[in-house]
Amino acid sequence: MNRIRCSVAACLAVLQLACHAAPDERPVDPALSVTPAVRTESWAVNWWLPRHEQKLAEARKLGKSAKVVFVGDSIVHGWEEVGAPVWERYYKPMHGLALGFGGDRTENVLWRLQNGEVDGIAPKVAVLMIGTNNTGHREEDPKTTAAGVQRDIDELRLRLPATKILLLAIFPRGETVDDPLRRLNEQVNGIISGFADNRQVYFLNLNQEFLTADGRLSKDIMPDLLHPNRKGYEIWARAMAPELKRLMAAP
């Protein structure tokens, strides 16, 4: 009888472990990152689609006057919040359009692109940075995240055929070089750097601008070790300026 009780207890323990497996132990469908999807999380459903509609209206209003568009997640979203004063100086004169949505992954960007967010504009440059939520939320295989980034690039090329795409390396996160999510992002960056053809798609890695000599990320730049503060956005804009200027002037 005791042996039976022990066997039942062991089975229950195994089931409990399976139900509470760590994210990196649960299988991730590699198709998720390349399949267009709206956001369904409870904290996002009330604002995500209304923000999409707002961005459609902004794009219509800017029309052909928009010279630069930024596409991405909460780090791009931050240009309208803590980074707004920096945006006013650098990108408002270019009639910039910020298409950043907090929490977005590659598949959410894909859905937004396929549902009109860059329709009717023809910017000189589209700045794309996406992927840290693929690795952070799902701890995806870097190849899976990179496939999602490639799919977003393909969609931008389809919808903005005359626009130069400036693909940014995913920004560093975590305090040290050994942070597991930073290491995942660096693996993604190693793959997506190869997506540049230097004709329509260009790759730029600004990550060292945010780090100390030993690779540490300071809370003076990213207080939560993920999202830049105003100082971080200033560093971003200043470091990217030469390449953006070059691409803006390119035929």
Catalytic entry in 178, 214, 220, 224:
224
Judge whether 23 and 139 are in contact, CB under 8 Å. yes
Consecutive H or E run containing 166: strand 164-168
* Annotation says 197 is catalytic: no
CB atoms within 10 A of CB 178: 9
Catalytic entry in 7, 73, 74, 197:
74
40/101 Cα distance (integer angstroms): 13
Where residue 157 falls (left for φ over 0; alpha for ψ -120 to 50; beta otherwise) is alpha
Catalytic entry in 33, 52, 141, 227:
227
**What radius of gyration do the chain's Cα atoms show?**
20
Phi, psi of 175 (to 5 degrees): -75, -40
244/172 Cα distance (integer angstroms): 21
Q: Which two tokens stand for residue 186?
A: 């660096």
Q: Which two tokens stand for residue 164?
A: 């130069």
Q: Which two tokens stand for residue 208?
A: 């060292």
Phi, psi of 199 (to 5 degrees): -125, -50
* Annotation says 74 is catalytic: yes
The residues annotated with a catalytic role in the active site are 74, 224, 227
